[in-house]
Chain A
Amino acid sequence: MSLASEAPKESFRLSMLIYDTRYRSYTIQVAVLVLLLAFLGWMTDNTIKNLAERGKDINFNFLWQRAGYDIDQQLIPYTNDSTHGRAAIIGLLNTLLIAFIGCIFATIVGVIAGVLRLSKNWLVARLMTVYVEIFRNVPLVLWIILIFVVFTETYPQPRDFRLTDEMVAAGEEPKESMILGAIAITNRGSNIPGPMLDRPLPTIEIATVPISLSAVAFLVVVAGSVLVNRRILARAKAIQEDTGLRPTTWWQSLLVLFAPAIALLMAMGFHLEYPEIKGFNFTGGIAVNHSFTALLVALILYTGAFIAEIVRGGILAISRGQTEAAYALGLRPGRTMNLVILPQALRVIIPPLISQFLNLTKNTSLGIAVSYLDLRGTLGGITMNQTGREMECMLLMMGIYLTISLLISSLMNIYNNSVKLKER
């Protein structure tokens, strides 16, 4: 009997590169490498020739030149005298803003729709099925454009809100009035009340990015409250495990969570500023573009439909026996859901949920349909057209999107590893 390891050692022949499985993979890899290098070389050569022909070079200096265009939604100060680089950052922040708000609300909508689709209530379950199927099977762009068009073409002009002296004299009301006296939706945009401080803390600038100390103080206070609240709960748990009696903590928690923040806000003179019609348009409060609203609403409803399916699938994936076992142990339905079903369902739900967040983030680039100035609209839109540097702008834009995606998916991997079934 001879084992494979005792096979007679053959001398190497050239044909073994193809026929011998030990060497074939190297042959193939070398061939692929050669082809790849040749292809890359060919492309680089073409690019150099093409750039030379058009008299261009690869140069990122344009990022420090004056942009010269306005962006109507800006989270950090920007004027048309700012640089193209800053415009790109404004765009990136707009992308992230819509992605962040969108992810939160899409999750809420999706969880509600997914749970209701499983409800025993016939009517509600059917309605949710209709919602999910309609939104899943129609392109996202259609929803974005439709919502935008409905907003811009059906809502009244700002002047319809105006109350002139003649109207007061004649005892007439303006044609349109604000919703709850606070929100004004016109064909140009929406105006919502904005938070204002009478005695704000100073604003400092770090690397040309202004940072409001008021906001920082508020966040610090809230974070501190949450930490203290955790300590209270931990202590309550320790006492419960010691004595079997849980001390009443709800009023302590409420006090710790809300009192410091409210005190701080009152000290800084917090109030809401309502929009007011002045001249031909609304001022005051926060002006929200319809492009932002349309993109956000469409993204929330569209992604919410996908999340609903994920949630439904996750809950269905937990076998009925788990519920029954929990009931047999004497757990009430609410605790069954919290302690038995949800922890298991979340393991199924979270990975596809994160990939929906990823999709939502990438889909913010569809703001192009309603001219929303996100990263694609600034860096990959106006800046690219003004400077004519397609290559650099596209590279930068793809790089940034890729970084965001990789960041989110690496977070997902960390989470996945932490909730993975620990098999020993």
Chain B
Amino acid sequence: MPDTAFVRSEMLPQQAPPITERGAVKWLRENLFSSPFNTVLTLIGLAVVFFLAQAALPWLMNSVWNATSLKECREIVWASAGPEATGACWALIRERWHQFLFGFYPADLYWRPVLALGLLLISLAPVLYYGLRKASVTLVGTVAALTLIALAMLDHDPTHLVIFALGLGGLTATAWVAPKRLLVLTVIYPLLGFWLLWGGSVWAPVGVAIGFALLVAVYLATKSYLGVVVATGAGFVVAAIWWLAVQTSVTTGLEAAMPLGMQAITSDQFGGFLLAFVIGVTAIGASLPIGILLALGRQSDMLLIKTLCVGFIEFVRGVPLITVLFTATLLLGYFLPPQTNFDVVLRVIILVTFFSAAYLAEVIRGGLAALPKGQYEAADALGLDYWQAQRLIVMPQALKVSIPGIVSTFIGLFKDTTLVAFVGLMDPLKGVTTIVRADTAWKGIYWEPYIFVGAIFFAVCFGMSRYSMYLEQKLKTDHR
């Protein structure tokens, strides 16, 4: 029998890892002090954080919310935290929030933009969360509740509130019972929102809606034997005849017979984030279809169409937005018939739409290029015509690939709405803030208004980019 006395017959109990290899010490060693270089980086980072905190924290802690001027703010801060102490003066925001949000929109009508924003989000719910009842009900319910609270704070008439509550409750119920029905709201929202914001006779948007209805009717009736392109053209011709020649007389007649309407608001009363949202949302909504068409045109076999699209896209992408905005205000008047004078906000929206459509077209072209040729050939093999292939096979895949680019174009567009200040509109950043800072009571204030405006922009843009990440995840079908 061999002598094996030194062989252990039972396992030793596990020992705890050494102190440097566990818990907070391990984490610190690995994440902050793994090498001399990293240690230096960490120390620099800590110094940066320390200096920022040292400057910003007392300033934030000494915030003043109730004051009527910057001087009063400073006196309050000095009284509470000692002389020469710094403190944020949010009282400015408290006093002027309505200008930042609504510009010079009449104060008693604030419920209209608020309701328009609420309805916008509700009408977006079925698009953003298509087929997801729970998410869409959560969104609609939250938005409806918030809108109602905001309306209750703005308008104290109980009958109005009951009407609003019933309407918003009805929408929430619809989102629960039949989420896809909400798409009806999405379709009519552009005109509804327009009417809520600008007011005036209800028959004008109805007239425009009838034009679109005519377009769709003609398209559906003639599509089967004229083809998509020609049928769309025919629809546009009929609708244009209605809009240009017939609509005015019909709507005036209806207005005379049954006057229905709200107080009309002119565009120069729009301002602040209301203006940024109106321009941003309209341009985002309208630029996507135009961008898709431009991208398809750029890929087209038809030489003329291709040249036109390439020329347009390259031209627009080659000039700064500000020159495009100047074109809207200075040159458009030359290109239109004499004495035409249409709304400056509308002009800006149209040109901003075309501007971002060109960028979108390039993004979507990237998505189209990423698609294997086999997809097109498969569509041909199935006997689909061009538009069917685009709608059913090409676009769903190409758009999915280009989601990050599309959303970052949208974010850029929303940020660029601040540039309308340079053509005399009241954007929240330059327009409103300059007016506010010019007030003698608030002269010398700068951090607070810019932080407020920047924070709202950040929230919206960051939200958009997070949503695009969510959408990418949701639509991901590859198994990697």
Q: At the interface with chain A, which of B102-110, B132-140, B299-307?
A: B299-307
B41:A146 contact, CB within 8 angstroms: no
The answer to whether A211 has its CB under 8 Å from any CB of chain B is no
A122:B418 contact, CB within 8 angstroms: no
The answer to whether A140 has its CB under 8 Å from any CB of chain B is yes
Within 8 A of A (CB), among B262-277: none
Q: What 0/1 pattern do residues 36 to 55 of B give for CB contact below 8 A with A?
A: 00100110111011000000
B419:A141 contact, CB within 8 angstroms: yes
B45, B323, B411, B450: which contacts A123 (Cβ < 8 A)?
B45
Per the bound structure, the CA–CA distance linking A149 and B433 in Å amounts to: 12
CB distance from B38 to the nearest CB of A (A): 5
CB distance from A19 to the nearest CB of B (A): 8
Per the bound structure, the CA–CA distance linking A25 and B453 in Å amounts to: 50
B422:A368 contact, CB within 8 angstroms: yes
Within 8 A of A (CB), among B440-463: 444, 446, 450, 453-454, 457-458, 461-462
A36, A139, A402: which contacts B315 (Cβ < 8 A)?
A402
Q: A366-B322, A366-B419 are in contact. Are A123 and B42 (CB under 8 A)?
A: yes
B418:A120 contact, CB within 8 angstroms: no
CB distance from B280 to the nearest CB of A (A): 11
Within 8 A of B (CB), among A76-130: 116, 119-124, 127
B318:A121 contact, CB within 8 angstroms: no
The answer to whether A369 has its CB under 8 Å from any CB of chain B is yes
B42, B318, B330, B418: which contacts A124 (Cβ < 8 A)?
B42
Per the bound structure, the CA–CA distance linking A135 and B163 in Å amounts to: 43
Chain A residue nearest to B444 (CB atoms) is A153
Q: Is the interface of B mostly helix, strand, loop or mixed?
A: helix
Q: How many residues of B contact A (CB 8 A)?
A: 62
Chain A residue nearest to B227 (CB atoms) is A18
The answer to whether A253 has its CB under 8 Å from any CB of chain B is no
Per the bound structure, the CA–CA distance linking A291 and B75 in Å amounts to: 32
The answer to whether B226 has its CB under 8 Å from any CB of chain A is yes
Q: A363-B320, A368-B422 are in contact. Are A142 and B457 (CB under 8 A)?
A: yes
Q: What 0/1 pattern do residues 27 to 60 of A give for CB contact below 8 A with B?
A: 0110111001000000100110111010000000
Chain A residue nearest to B31 (CB atoms) is A122
The answer to whether B32 has its CB under 8 Å from any CB of chain A is yes
Chain A residue nearest to B230 (CB atoms) is A18
B308, B317, B321, B416 — most chain A CB neighbours (10 Å): B317
B323:A401 contact, CB within 8 angstroms: yes
The answer to whether A248 has its CB under 8 Å from any CB of chain B is no
The answer to whether B336 has its CB under 8 Å from any CB of chain A is yes
The answer to whether A421 has its CB under 8 Å from any CB of chain B is no
Per the bound structure, the CA–CA distance linking A151 and B72 in Å amounts to: 24
Q: Is the interface of A mostly helix, strand, loop or mixed?
A: helix
A380:B457 contact, CB within 8 angstroms: no
Per the bound structure, the CA–CA distance linking A122 and B34 in Å amounts to: 11
B323:A365 contact, CB within 8 angstroms: yes
Q: For B30, what are the chain A residues with a Cβ–Cβ distance below 8 Å?
A: 120
Chain A residue nearest to B45 (CB atoms) is A123
Chain B residue nearest to A140 (CB atoms) is B415
Q: For B45, what are the chain A residues with a Cβ–Cβ distance below 8 Å?
A: 121, 123-124, 127
Per the bound structure, the CA–CA distance linking A138 and B451 in Å amounts to: 10
How many interface contacts (CB-CB < 8 Å) are there between A and B?
A: 156
Q: For B465, what are the chain A residues with a Cβ–Cβ distance below 8 Å?
A: 136-137
Per the bound structure, the CA–CA distance linking A398 and B324 in Å amounts to: 9
Chain B residue nearest to A363 (CB atoms) is B320
CB distance from A48 to the nearest CB of B (A): 9
Q: How large is the interface on A (under 10, 10 to 19, 20 to 34, 35 or more residues)?
A: 35 or more
CB distance from A307 to the nearest CB of B (A): 14
A47:B335 contact, CB within 8 angstroms: yes
Q: For B444, what are the chain A residues with a Cβ–Cβ distance below 8 Å?
A: 153
A365:B320 contact, CB within 8 angstroms: yes
The answer to whether A237 has its CB under 8 Å from any CB of chain B is no
The answer to whether A176 has its CB under 8 Å from any CB of chain B is no
Per the bound structure, the CA–CA distance linking A29 and B49 in Å amounts to: 62
A394:B323 contact, CB within 8 angstroms: yes
Q: For B458, what are the chain A residues with a Cβ–Cβ distance below 8 Å?
A: 134, 137-138
A145:B450 contact, CB within 8 angstroms: yes
The answer to whether A188 has its CB under 8 Å from any CB of chain B is no
B338:A390 contact, CB within 8 angstroms: no
Q: A33-B304, A137-B462, A145-B430 are in contact. Are A369 and B422 (CB under 8 A)?
A: yes
Per the bound structure, the CA–CA distance linking A149 and B337 in Å amounts to: 43
B461:A401 contact, CB within 8 angstroms: no
The answer to whether B21 has its CB under 8 Å from any CB of chain A is no
Per the bound structure, the CA–CA distance linking A24 and B314 in Å amounts to: 27
A141, A376, A406 — most chain B CB neighbours (10 Å): A141
A394:B453 contact, CB within 8 angstroms: no
The answer to whether B63 has its CB under 8 Å from any CB of chain A is no
Q: For A127, what are the chain B residues with a Cβ–Cβ distance below 8 Å?
A: 45, 48-49
B308:A36 contact, CB within 8 angstroms: yes
Per the bound structure, the CA–CA distance linking A120 and B35 in Å amounts to: 11
Q: A47-B334, A122-B32, A402-B315 are in contact. Are A149 and B415 (CB under 8 A)?
A: no
The answer to whether A397 has its CB under 8 Å from any CB of chain B is yes
The answer to whether A159 has its CB under 8 Å from any CB of chain B is no
Q: For A402, what are the chain B residues with a Cβ–Cβ distance below 8 Å?
A: 315, 318-319
Q: A29-B302, A145-B430 are in contact. Are A50 and B338 (CB under 8 A)?
A: yes
The answer to whether A187 has its CB under 8 Å from any CB of chain B is no
CB distance from A410 to the nearest CB of B (A): 11
B320:A46 contact, CB within 8 angstroms: no
Q: For B301, what are the chain A residues with a Cβ–Cβ distance below 8 Å?
A: 25
A32:B319 contact, CB within 8 angstroms: no
**Residues on B facing A (Cβ under 8 Å):** 30-32, 34, 38, 41-42, 44-46, 48-49, 226-227, 229-230, 233, 301-305, 308, 314-315, 317-323, 326-327, 330-331, 333-338, 411, 415-416, 418-419, 421-422, 429-430, 433, 444, 446, 450, 453-454, 457-458, 461-462, 465
A146-B446, A363-B320, A391-B334 given; 12 more Cβ-contact pairs under 8 Å: A18-B230, A28-B302, A29-B305, A36-B308, A116-B41, A121-B38, A123-B42, A123-B49, A139-B418, A139-B454, A368-B322, A398-B323
The 12 sampled A-B contact pairs (Cβ below 8 Å) are A46-B336, A49-B337, A121-B45, A123-B42, A140-B415, A141-B421, A145-B429, A150-B446, A380-B326, A390-B331, A394-B330, A402-B315
List the 6 closest A-B pairs by CB distance, nearest first: A405-B318, A137-B461, A122-B31, A402-B318, A365-B320, A139-B415
